[in-house]
Chain A
Amino acid sequence: MKKILSIEVPAEQSNLFIIRNFYTQSIRSGCAAISEADIAYMELAVNEFCENIIRHGYKGGPGTINIRIIADEDKIRTVITDSAKPYNILEYDPIDKEKLVEKGIKGRLGIRMIKTICDSIKYTRLNNKNKTVLTKNIRAQKET
């Protein structure tokens, strides 16, 4: 049975903790088959995406982030909507991990994490809003 939950918060770094708590509780209760590993992965992916919106989209300025979770039996779709400048994650390549060490780069890991974790990512820009859908397919059995 499909379950839909949503939250809208001001785009502030201090709210990432709230987003993570809401998100993990929602998908744990909304999708009985999801493993703790997948919960941890998606918590990270959503955190990274929202962090990008706050830092690079709104650049620390005012704005909101809306997160809608659509939990099906076989997948979790997370729809993230914001009014920041256009940002299509699909246009950015993830950084190679060896380069991180060699060059001592601190940033750009988030995109790599999101793209590694999510099974599909869709982006649309409509009415001056970014809408990104992160989809995670659910494995049939819980991991131990």
Chain B
Amino acid sequence: MAVTLGERKSGDVYVLQASGFIDTSTVSVVEEKITKLFAEGKYKLVVDLSGVEFVSSAGWGVFVAFLKKMRDKDGDLKLSGMIEKVAKVFTLMEFDSLMDAYADEDAAVKSFSR
């Protein structure tokens, strides 16, 4: 299993549902998808990681790199559904002070309307 991406739309929020692992060998799939969504003007994005078992610096780097781009367009990139081991890394590396994360994608989607 490498990485697979599903996609759904909820209002003006796009949800990218990732499964598998995101490392240097698979990150281009994720980066190309987010780049495409950004180019299409979709600046409110939730990346759901509930099916992702591992995220390396390559994956975190893509999420962080798009944060400012999305926010500069009055959007944001938010994460949801991290399994415990991924969430532990998220917290240890203090990414929680940089970006928002939610227990599930519905909560992340709703947060855009607050």
Q: Can you name the residue of chain B whose Cβ is closest to the Cβ of A12?
A: B25
- Chain A 32-60 residues near chain B, CB threshold 8 A: 36-37, 39-41, 43-44, 47-48, 51, 54-55
| Of the residues A16, A40, A43, contact of B25 by C-beta under 8 Å | A16
Instruction: Confirm or deny: A14 has a beta carbon within 8 angstroms of a beta carbon on chain B.
Output: yes
- Chain A 99-117 residues near chain B, CB threshold 8 A: 100-102, 104-107, 109-110, 112-113, 116-117
Q: Can you name the residue of chain A whose Cβ is closest to the Cβ of B71?
A: A101
CA distance A105 to B68 in the complex (A): 10
The answer to whether B56 and A101 have CB atoms under 8 Å apart is no
User: Chain A interface secondary structure, helix, strand, loop or mixed?
Assistant: helix
| Of the residues A20, A51, A100, A105, contact of B54 by C-beta under 8 Å | A20
The answer to whether B92 and A116 have CB atoms under 8 Å apart is yes
The answer to whether B58 and A51 have CB atoms under 8 Å apart is yes
| List of A residues within 8 angstroms of B60 by Cβ | 109
| Of the residues B58, B68, B86, contact of A101 by C-beta under 8 Å | B68
Question: Given A40-B89, A44-B89, does the pair A51, B23 have CB atoms closer than 8 Å?
Answer: yes
| Of the residues B21, B24, B61, B84, contact of A105 by C-beta under 8 Å | B61
Q: Can you name the residue of chain B whose Cβ is closest to the Cβ of A15?
A: B25
Question: Given A14-B25, A51-B56, A97-B98, does the pair A105, B88 have CB atoms closer than 8 Å?
Answer: no
Residues of chain A having any CB pair with chain B under 8 Å: 13-14, 16-17, 20, 36-37, 39-41, 43-44, 47-48, 51, 54-55, 97-98, 100-102, 104-107, 109-110, 112-113, 116-117
In order of increasing CB-CB distance, the 9 nearest A-B pairs are A109-B57, A40-B85, A106-B61, A13-B25, A110-B57, A106-B65, A104-B65, A100-B64, A37-B88
